[in-house]
Structure 1
Amino acid sequence: MTEVPTVTDPAAPDGDATESEAAVRDRVVRLLERSRTRSIALTDAVDEADLVAQHSPLMSPLVWDLAHIGSQEELWLVRDVGGREPLRPEIDGLYDAFQHSRASRVDLPLLTPPEARAYVAEVRDKALDALGSTPLRGRRLVEHGFAFGMIVQHEQQHDETMLATHQLRAGAPVLHAEPPPPGPGPARLGAREVLVPAGPFVQGTSTEPWALDNERPAHTVDLPAFVIDTYPVTNAEYTAFVEAGGYDDPRWWSARGWAHRVEADLRAPQFWERDASGTWWRRRFGVVEPVPADEPVVHVCFHEAAAYAAWVGKRLPTEAEWEKAARHDPATGRSRRYPWGDEEPGAGHANLGQRHLQPAPLGAYPAGVSALGVHQMLGDVWEWCDSGWEPYPGFEMFPYPEYSQVFFGGDYKVLRGGSFGTDPSAVRATFRNWDHPIRRQIFSGFRCARDASAAEAAESSGVPTGGR
């Protein structure tokens, strides 16, 4: 095992370690209810034909996601934690994501929508019984309610997956939400870049009770000075790249990226179309509307993001750079739980939880700014990082290898920060996501970074750069 430096991990506030079992149970019940309310809303919004249809070979039928949510909850909370007899052991294989590709799931003998709804309701009743009767101590799986938190996050992750399926379905709009808060306007946004000083910071966590195995353990990473965008790249900025011929010039693309651009005939972000007048339009959950200039661009793959970054003379941040910009507090030297501090995400901090079914304009969440002055690092869009999917030094698989371990070293790139479709319970400043670099049906965007110049590096370290 790789030796891990001893570090102080202050990511979790003191209250998490001493939270009473009653408080943990109350929190679990509240979050399970919130997750299920969202799952029901996403599946009740369409008729049975839509639930069983496959809207894209990249996605499962919505009814598969719903029953899979119940299957995972039964496996971990009812059978393992609760020690109860299986409810529907004959369907375990149908809802094992490793046995069947997404493209093949539509042909399986799946539970019908009424059967799936009845199944997940019965599972939930027994899971709540297990919550009420199981001591939340003495076993790693249940300490601080970990297994229940894992299932909360699992359901919310599939709620975001189902939201992406809704974006891919054809037909009239069935999902509706209020628009996000306005931004201050381009003239009041301030500097486009933030200088991040050289030096060490604590990446990952060893104390966050519901952190997943790939977020662990906390470890020290020492980075040179770098510069990162204050905000994600906007639709207006990305449109300039498109209209300057960025998709036609291989200079800006990696060899793999250009090959994919040609093979997939990429011309603009997914769901964008340009009319005869030159106006760009997008389709968003069935609504066709002009592309908003000041929102972060969304539905771009890693290769598109990297090409844009090269076009503007920058690059994508590494995962460590992204996390340092999000978490590091230079005044205290500690790493925060969230960009703004340790307080749980509220409506004023970030665009999370499917409250708004689109990214928010730049600067819409000033209360969510990081200690280094970087905005909108949680919510809005998942941000591509130029790092492969690898374990941290000292990684230990828990509680099962198929969550993280089996994917390490594959053809994946890291995404950080969550999107407007991500629930606060399913994202932290340490949370790590990953996907193939060609994927763009996910709610993915990016921000750029670059190496600091010698003068900037000297400035960040306090070294004088001029004469006396």
Structure 2
Amino acid sequence: MVTEARSPLPGSIPRRGAAAQRACLLLLGLLGGLAAASAAHAAAPSPDPVAMQPIGARFEIDRTEVSIGAFRRHAEATGLVTQAERAGGGSTYEGGWQQRRGWTWRAPFGRPGDDDEPAVHLTQPEAAAYCRWAGKRLPTDAEWLEAAHVERRPAPPAGFATGTRYPFPTGSTPAGANCLDCAPAGRLAPAQTSRGRGHARVGSTAAGVNGLFDMGANVWEWVDSGPGDEAVTRGGSWWYGPAQMHHDHRQTKPRDTAVVYIGFRCARSLP
């Protein structure tokens, strides 16, 4: 007699199959959780909103100077009180260095600054700390010079040529920069000083070499280079004429300098 093999009833699962299914469901749940966590991490906004521009294959650099709005995120997240704030104000040069009460990164000229003004009255270590917080770093002097003066875009717009070294961050001439002797450029935040028109709001002047803004003039920029207690600043500022924008002009200042016309931007190495 032939015995008919019994098939499991619909919806029933053999014991071994049920255990395997439970293990499979557990694994799927774990993988789903990991995927969700990964997606949430990828979607999390960067603490630093400044757009970056690749310079060749080695590094990228902020397209604009770090703004008051961007620096405020850092200060609020870390509880930072800057050197100028602790001292009661930063400094400006009026026939000699003079402290200005209430002049800080929050109020560059003694009045509350707008979020799109460059962050100034910051020491070089304070600038470096912001860049680290943002997952970046200050550019080296060599990186800053390359970004400011050597066109690396493969297809730059008219007026720039790939591989060309320019004397000014704006190109062949200083035109378009916010410097003392240049034509008015950008949307200015008026200065309360005896000289100059004040800084322009970030990204409001003409883009220069590599599509970067204000590598020449507007505010000096700290870099991660310099001997001992001194650090290099590059680019000139609204206080100075075009000579300070030139590629061969370099200044050093004490790292703890916090003044009205020094700001910064960040860089990051590319993999």
> TM over 0.5: same fold?
yes
Q: Residue 230 of structure 1 is aligned with which of 63, 67, 74?
A: 63
Alignment identity in percent? Answer: 35
**1:362 aligned to 2:202?**
yes
Kindly state the Cα deviation for residue 441 of structure 1 after the two structures are TM-superposed: 2.5
**1:333 aligned to 2:172?**
no
Q: 2:137 touches 2:267 (CA, 8 Å); kept in 1? A: yes
**1:247 aligned to 2:80?**
yes
State the structure with more CA Rg: 2
Q: 1:301 touches 1:439 (CA, 8 Å); kept in 2? A: yes
Cα distance in 2 between the residues matched to 1:234 and 1:268: 21
**1:197 aligned to 2:27?**
no
Kindly state the Cα deviation for residue 430 of structure 1 after the two structures are TM-superposed: 2.9
CA 442–191 in structure 1, closer or farther in 2 if over 3 Å, else same: closer
Cα distance in 2 between the residues matched to 1:433 and 1:242: 28
Corresponding position of 1:438:
256
Classify the secondary structure of the residue corresponding to 2:129.
helix
Q: Residue 107 of structure 2 is aligned with which of 275, 282, 285?
A: 282
Matches within 5 A, 1:364-443: 364-366=204-206, 368-370=207-209, 372-388=210-226, 409-441=227-259, 443=261
CA 267–313 in structure 1, closer or farther in 2 if over 3 Å, else same: farther
Cα distance in 1 between the residues matched to 2:142 and 2:162: 19
Kindly state the Cα deviation for residue 269 of structure 1 after the two structures are TM-superposed: 7.5
Cα distance in 2 between the residues matched to 1:378 and 1:439: 20
Q: 1:230 touches 1:374 (CA, 8 Å); kept in 2? A: yes
Corresponding position of 1:351:
178
Q: Residue 172 of structure 2 is aligned with which of 336, 342, 347?
A: 342
Cα distance in 1 between the residues matched to 2:221 and 2:62: 12
Classify the secondary structure of the residue corresponding to 1:240.
helix
| Letter matched to residue 220 of structure 2 | W
Report Cα offsets for 1:75-126 as digits up to 9, x if no partner. Answer: xxxxxxxxxxxxxxxxxxxxxxxxxxxxxxxxxxxxxxxxxxxxxxxxxxxx
Cα distance in 2 between the residues matched to 1:327 and 1:231: 15
TM-score by length of 1: 0.38
Q: 1:301 touches 1:438 (CA, 8 Å); kept in 2? A: yes
Kindly state the Cα deviation for residue 310 of structure 1 after the two structures are TM-superposed: 1.0
Larger helix percent: 1
CA 266–450 in structure 1, closer or farther in 2 if over 3 Å, else same: farther
CA 385–237 in structure 1, closer or farther in 2 if over 3 Å, else same: same
Gaps of 5+ in 2: 1-48, 91-99, 153-160, 185-195
Report Cα offsets for 1:342-389 as digits up to 9, x if no partner. Answer: 12x23xx111007653210122212x411x21111011111000011x
Gaps of 5+ in 1: 1-189, 199-224, 249-260, 275-279, 389-408, 455-468
Cα distance in 2 between the residues matched to 1:191 and 1:283: 20
Corresponding position of 1:458:
none
| Letter matched to residue 216 of structure 2 | L
Matches within 5 A, 1:150-161: none
| Letter matched to residue 167 of structure 2 | R
Cα root mean square deviation, aligned: 2.9
CA 191–241 in structure 1, closer or farther in 2 if over 3 Å, else same: closer
CA 229–296 in structure 1, closer or farther in 2 if over 3 Å, else same: same
Cα distance in 1 between the residues matched to 2:76 and 2:88: 10
Cα distance in 2 between the residues matched to 1:269 and 1:245: 20
Cα distance in 2 between the residues matched to 1:350 and 1:272: 29
Q: 1:382 touches 1:445 (CA, 8 Å); kept in 2? A: yes
Cα distance in 1 between the residues matched to 2:151 and 2:101: 38
CA 297–194 in structure 1, closer or farther in 2 if over 3 Å, else same: same
CA 438–369 in structure 1, closer or farther in 2 if over 3 Å, else same: same
Report Cα offsets for 1:173-210 as digits up to 9, x if no partner. Answer: xxxxxxxxxxxxxxxxx971001113xxxxxxxxxxxx
TM-score by length of 2: 0.63
Cα distance in 2 between the residues matched to 1:281 and 1:226: 30
Cα distance in 2 between the residues matched to 1:441 and 1:191: 22
